[in-house]
A and B are shown apart, each in its own frame.
Chain A
Amino acid sequence: MIYREAGQFKTTYASDQQLFPILQDRVFVIGFLVFAFGVMPYIGSKYLFSAILIPFLILSLAAVGLNILVGYCGQVSLGTGAFMSIGAYTAYNFAVRMPDLNLLIVFVLAGVFAAIVGVLFGIPSLRIKGFYLAVATLAAQFFTDWLFARVKWFTNDSASGSVAAPPLTIFGSTITEPVEKYLLVLAIVCVFALVARNLTRGAIGRSWMATRDMDVAAEVIGIRPLRAKLSAFAVSSFFAGVAGALWAFVNLGSWEPLAFDVNRSFQLLFMVIIGGLGSILGSFLGAAFIVILPLVLNQLPTWLGIPLSTAMISHIEFMVFGALIVFFLIVEPHGLARLWAIGKEKLRLWPFPH
């Protein structure tokens, strides 16, 4: 009933092709954007912003990037952490060496450099695919780990290998409050989500999907695999690079190569798989699952007033989290986004299922 589309007629191509063709979707999206931008800053606590929402949003952005590569273009990658670290260190070097540069430009440059490196490491994808490609992208991971840990120039000769981001100054004002950081990240993520959604709907997205589904057939119908694959690597790495710069500058403030190690790549891949391959929404759902759920599980016993030792809580967190991953993948191998889509379909027919 809530989701019934009866009576919504699309009479122009424009109305058929808009981002959210269904009225209810539009209302919800606008409603939630208003909530996220207008209401959330007033009701959220500092902890909520700095420890939950900001990390969640930034990793969502990285997951969207990875989803473009893995979900839309079918190129399995284990190197997202590497591209994030390239973004982070590029941003750091620009910010330290050219202190007058606007931070937003710094973030874009971070994305550009990550995209260049992404394309370089994407070249093997023209010859190999699947697991073989995953291993090739793993090389990017180990290479950047080595590069940023060993080449001192990148860390500005930091003694401990840990670097600290300069203050977040955008258009003359310095951002320090978690709520301001949250709004900054939210705005950037919204823009990028919109870009990603439109890219995947357009010609370029179709070429990615055709390559993913059957590359030989795609070639036959005139899609150039070189362009499709490398553009997917470039866009994906761009997203990851910006996410890496945000992760370093906004979330951590001070970081070391360990913040972008292979575990981060795995974490992002799991987000994409659990959230739903080939779905922008899925990237957000997956990020929520991986970032927020463990924190909630970790604090649940305290909220419920169950006295447990710290180690026990931690172990329970790991067990429940693992079990939930298995559960969701069994119930819906296509990810949380698919569960949501099924829910929506059911709502459309409700209360008369057939």
Chain B
Amino acid sequence: MPAIEELTDAYERYVLRNEEGFMDEFRERLREFGGRPTPLQHAERLSERYDTEVYLKREDLLHGGAHKLNNALGQVLLAKYMDKERIVAETGAGQHGTATAMAAAHLDMPCEVYMGETDINRQRPNVFRMRLNGADVTPVTAGRGTLKEAINETMRDWATTVENTHYVLGSVVGPHPFPVMVRDFQAVISEEARRQVREQTGELPDSVLACAGGGSNTMGAFAAFLDDEDVSLHAVEAGGSSLAVDEERGVAPNSASLSTGNEGVLHGARTRLLQDDDGQILESHSVSAGLDYAGVGPELAHLVESGRVRAVNVDDDAALAAFHRLSSTEGIIPALESAHALAYLERVAGPSSPATEGSSGEPRDEAHDDLGDIVIVNVSGRGDKDLETVIEETDRREIPEAPEMDVFTEGL
């Protein structure tokens, strides 16, 4: 793909060497348009509950309601510097599509977003937002109609239009330079958090927790801490409904490629994948559309293999419970993606749920000790987009933390 060479060249010039003041303009726009820096908030009730100081990195307060703007704005701006005339993007939960549509409108670029049909149906508010920002939303019907298929279709578009089009890939996946470039744009999360936690506590955190689908908020939350070897880093994957593969249907009812996948090659990267014995990619599942992907960023996979990052996972029920818990105790409605990171906190440090519950068991004390006294949880996005899913899914499960759902479902 020749586009890759052109993009690598642009990445090295503008992002790494700040030619023409690209990074200065990027940071300025993140402040003015994006609302950075986002707060690092001390969460009082959670701190009490877990007997540890919990700090929430509030990426939900970034413009658009998710960390996705960091990368989308960076890439659309880069496309401008590259004299591209059109933007394409894929989206799962719609957060990346929304961020890209906003950035494209802000920088006056036409934008087309590919989105799986399943995801269109479960993330309608974001579809509306993308359209309001002037983007075309193109449904993808192949496969299960989720992120993997949307990426395939966007790659096909890009292969056809590469001369005038830039593909704003939404996570730290795909061919080089996407994984490192997206990480660099997202690293602002941990750069800020590292500074903020020192200002507020005088110390570095003992651990950082972030959810991991493709891994963009994960890498963003970890990047500035990678050299701080005393800071333990936890990537929390979507354990879905089960970690076991449904052989008959050829489906992995989870998105835990770090925890359960094997090494393989997909979308131009060698990484860990959910695949069958032949190497066919499995359909993944998560209650959270944003984590619903069969692969994961290659750098994150490498960090897990080398032992620097610990990969853990929680299931759909635990994520829903954490969603309700944060909403009712702290007044923050988190994205279902971020709820996975919060659910891990509950599993290892919660007052009532032993650590052996859920998907990957560890003795509770050990895991709790491992978290330490200062914990940062990346709240990667806000949950407005997920309300329909949450109401529906909560209604058909038993989630003790949740309020009665009747009031919502009566009118449905």
- Asked whether A and B interact, the reply is no
